[in-house]
Structure 1
Amino acid sequence: MISSIKETKQDKIFLAFVYLLLTVALIVVAYPLIYILSASISNPTIVAAGEMWLLPKDITFEGYRRVFQDPSIWNGYLNTIIYTVVGTLVNLLVTLPAAYALSRRDFVGRNLFMILFIVTMFFGGGLVPTYLVVRNLGLVDSMWALILPGATSVWNLIVCRTFFQSSIPRELQEAAEIDGCSNFRLYFRIVLPLSTALIAVMALFFGVGHWNNYFSAMIYLNQQEKYPLQLVLRQILVLQQMSAQAGTIDATMATSLNNKAEVAALVKYAVIIVATLPIIAVYPFLQRYFVQGVMIGSVKG
């Protein structure tokens, strides 16, 4: 027979407070998502007038129709997917081996290299020197200008190094070395398979960063056909902001700008939904890695 523990009055008050806090957090997080989704299928005039604050009104799918018919948006979508996939692979290929090497106690000079990495977290050359370096390397107006300058993140490097030090038992590595396992084989056949959770989390962190990045593209890319989706979205936002000055020009042009602004606002919300869906779809598949202990049972005795 399972005995139940009776909750005290203080426990009930605390539990009610927790539920209240979680409900408020849910509302704060969910409201912007619901608002954007509703705005993407509502009449842009009603949205601009502030008459729609939660549920959609005067439903229209004109924004999604224009998104699916606009070649620049689809081209930006394709560019973003390419930049995200290639950039994430480069990040993992650079970060994971470097972190593993820095986690090895027999790596001579690892503390010096770690100090040099950490210094870059506090001191940087700035935008102009970085642009000059990228230009001198011939990377301007190419995909690699968005990938190679940020090939690794020192913070993620430290996280990976800490994971290798704390989660990969030294005894397991020593046993593999006694059996004649080389360093490369140890890394690829033992360390990486035991680091599935770390790889998934790092891929998610790097991937989200590449997916949302627009500033580097705005600085280094000149040809519009190479723009990522976020930069295309920025152009739509700029078009909408231009309509705010419509009152200072003649009526014909003001009407034209207002019409374009309404279309831009409708497309803006639709693009936000379309651009966010892939990241939202990936999260459920990687969420378990945040709470799963992959090292349980890897060492016996």
Structure 2
Amino acid sequence: MVTRAIIVGCGGYLPQRVVANDALGEAFGIETSDAWITERTGIRQRHVAAPEETASSMGLAAARQALERAGLEGAAVDCVIVATATPDSAFPATAVRIQAGLGSHQGFAFDVSAACTGFVYALGLADSLIRTGQARCAVVIGTEVFSRILDWTDRGTCVLFGDGAGAVVLVAGEGRGDATDRGILSTHLHSDGRYGDILLVDGGAGSNGECGKLRMAGKEVFRHAVSKLASVVDEALAANGLAQSDIRWLIPHQANLRIIDAMGKKLGLPKERVVVTVDRHANTSAASIPLALAEAAGKGLIERGDLMVLEGIGGGLTWGAALARF
């Protein structure tokens, strides 16, 4: 028998304020149209954080929902890992603020910075910590307040992003050590710093204060996205002796509907087996995968035993995939 990190609860949080494409001009002075945005990205609206909302407050709300759905109390948590590119402050880590809010006074908490791939990175770390016995119950959170690092005069980037948080609860369980086990089967992480300048924030970070602004060479990012994501998913399947036909669900980073559709086609999945939230959430960076997972699980779409692929690509460049059985 081997130790596996099993997903027992998923949660999400979205700010109350919703800004549709047509309302961007009134809200932020963006001169563009719903048709222009929708045709290029699939995005129709995004959620925008209120002034008092932060990465930690949204992440805490998502974590509480995930724990509630798991039937666990915060005191049971001994590891909190937060993926964010918009932390509350340079330090302390956003994770320790969430740890305190959960009432988890044991174990440890820390942040991970890998942009839009951050949740996959954090999931991989939590899986390793549980496998080695350093944690028994981990909360992994992606939370972002991208509205505060956007240049609202650049319609090529500002229309793409939204705010929100998603979380999963992992607990240690036993498996046979093969691909039939429940839980995280494997994670596969990559980066290539040669492409760091095609997607970056040109200054400091901290969702409570002054930040740099997001800059992106969109065509360059798109050019890398599908090939790198397809490669890492193939890597994950090969590592577990599985085929594309074994995949029940694709839960991708929600950056662009064209990329999502291309990945679904490469994997031979019908559209109803690809979780899509980008139309309503826009790109919430590290929060997008756990938000999509929480929505699908909350609706009862994903059933126990279903094989899921979670994959993303982000600034760095970073990219990765996780293979998990729900």
TM-score by length of 1: 0.22
User: Would you tell me which structure has more helix in proportion to its own residues?
Assistant: 1
Give the number of the structure whose alpha-carbon radius of gyration is greater: 1
TM-score by length of 2: 0.21
User: Would you tell me which structure has more strand in proportion to its own residues?
Assistant: 2
